[in-house]
A and B are shown apart, each in its own frame.
Chain A
Amino acid sequence: MKYSLLFAIFFSLTTSVIAGETPPAMANCQTAECTKPFVVPAKEKMLHKKSDLRISVTGQGVAPLNTTSPAQAYALAKRAAVGDAYRLIAEKVKGVRVDGQDLIKNMMVQKSSVRTSVNAMVRNANIVETTFKDGLCEVEMEIILSHTQFSY
């Protein structure tokens, strides 16, 4: 009797591991977020003395509605996309400040706000590719960072 019980416990454990069953904590999960498999975040790239670091971003911009020609629309959208790419580079290199505020009254959320800000100086960024399709301009930009730029 004792051995049969132990065997049953062992058998159930091995079958659950082999079949890839969800752990008991996730068994009651109903939302899509918590059923996602746990992914270990990739190790962040670091700047080393011997190797440069290449950062690549894609900025997006659209033209205003009141343009007089497709050429003007393209030029304005491209300018906006370049600005967006600069912002993305600044966000990646220097980071983003995030401030959040929720106003709750009578157990109800009245106002929820999240403010983000970035301040940086970006130089020597290069445009790799520009595409313009359906009024959306995408600019791929990259910047190469070297250790000497940041060492004193």
Chain B
Amino acid sequence: MRSRDGNHTFTHTVLLLIFFSSLALNASEFLISYRYVLKDAILYNETLDISQAMKKCRGTAQKSLFLEHHNKKNIRDILSINSEEFIEFIHKLGLDVAHRGETINMQNSSTTILTLKTTCFKVDINENFAIIAPLK
């Protein structure tokens, strides 16, 4: 007679499936893009888009940033608390600069757009810190 949990292979298969599917979903990787627009030396628009990665990102983790998470578990909340540090970090990673200036009949106007192209970030949250590293 077979024991109640005797079907080891089936249980193991199910557990392995759950494990690998969780890896595939990869809850600790996020796609982040950032863009801001300056018009005539005034900040006009700023957007920071954060999205959970739907599939595993390629690349290795680069220089990481440590942020205090203040017991928050959501990456959006953590980045909202530490927005200054994170945006400074984004600037260091590199931004695309697109500038257009126009002088018509001696009147000048300009638009500058700075963009961080969508980048995958690996996020690890431990007891005190959230460690954010871009993948490249």
Contacts and interface: CB of A to CB of B under 8 A. Distances in A.
Interface of A: 60-64, 76-77, 79-80, 82-84, 86-87, 89-91, 111-125
Contacts, number: 89
B41 A60 contact: yes
B97 A87 contact: yes
A76 to B, nearest CB: 5
Interface string B56-95: 0000000000000000000000000000000000011111
- Bin the interface of chain B by size: 20 to 34
B63 to A, nearest CB: 11
B43 A113 contact: no
A119 B36 contact: no
B127 interface: no
Interface of B: 36, 38, 41-43, 46, 91-106, 112, 114
Given A116-B102, A118-B97, A121-B96, 16 more contacts: A61-B41, A62-B42, A80-B42, A83-B38, A83-B112, A86-B97, A87-B97, A90-B97, A111-B105, A117-B99, A118-B99, A119-B98, A120-B97, A121-B94, A124-B92, A125-B92
Contacts of A64: 42-43
Contacts of A62: 41-42
B43 A84 contact: no
A112 B104 contact: yes
A127 to B, nearest CB: 8
Contact of B94 (A60, A76, A91, A124): A124
Contacts of A63: 42
A114 B43 CA distance: 23
13 contacts: A61-B38, A64-B43, A76-B42, A80-B42, A86-B97, A86-B114, A87-B112, A111-B104, A115-B100, A117-B99, A120-B96, A121-B96, A125-B91
